[in-house]
A = this chain, B = another copy of it.
Amino acid sequence: MPHLAFPSTSLDGFKCETHCAVRPLAICGELGPAEHEEFERMAQHVRYGPKEALFSEDEVADSVYSLIEGIARLYKLLPDGRRQIIGFALPGDFLGMAPGNRYSFSADAIGAVTVCKFFRGPFLRFIENRPQMLLRMNDFATRELSLAQDQMLLLGRRSAEEKVAAFLVAWRERLARLDGVTKTVSLPMGRQDIADFLGLTIETVSRTFTKLEREKLIVIVPDGVRVLDPKRFDALAAA
């Protein structure tokens, strides 16, 4: 059985309704109290410090993770060190599924991270005869796939300015789903991470931020940006 990777979908619409040690773990769905308890017993909480690895590409994939707190970056490396970030994981996201028995990408913490960890075998055995959970997994996978395809369009066919604008718009929306709408978009990841996500260099990202600021579209603040002109902004990022 394969593992799945859901790097960036916020599972917010699926918050676990029952009281739950693994609250943001959206995958648990509408389990009955007894099942729920069984499910919980399979989980263990783990904390990671800044830059610590949750797992690495090509490692044997023995666990799946639900992110509880903090942000993780998910990436693939080429042998010469070039890096492509394939997504940022937020609380509620589900990580670590992969086809075959090895992880297909690496994940590490940006800042402090708490996860809810399941061993793969018991987890798969638990869900395999529960259609509700399987449907939920399908739903997540479909969403992830669609996001990945959007990102392909961005990487293959958009200019640097469009990439940065689209990134900020999408990131703002994702945060809004978690925290509600805010004027300031916080960017916990560094410029290098943004560059590696957008297929650019750090210098180009930096210059593009500056350019957007000169054009009065954003204001750069510590650890984030304030969006001044959402309309003009969304137009730049438009699909």
Contacts and interface: CB of A to CB of B under 8 A. Distances in A.
B4 A157 contact: no
A203 interface: no
B99 A157 contact: no
A72 B233 CA distance: 35
Contact of A149 (B2, B86, B157, B198): B86
Contacts of A142: 2-5, 97-99, 141
Count chain B CB atoms within 10 A of each CB in A3, A131, A138, A199 and give the residue with the most. A138
A193 interface: no
Contacts of A83: 157
B153 A156 contact: no
Q: So how many copies of this chain end up in the complex? A: 2
A176 interface: no
A78 B144 CA distance: 20
Contacts of A158: 78, 82
Contacts of A143: 2, 99
Contacts of A78: 153, 157-158, 239
Contacts of A3: 142
Contacts of A130: 131
A104 interface: yes
A139 interface: yes
A17 interface: no
Given A78-B239, A157-B84, A238-B79, A138 B137 contact: yes
Contacts of A149: 5, 7, 76, 86, 104-105, 148
Nearest to A151: B152
Contacts of A34: none
A135 interface: yes
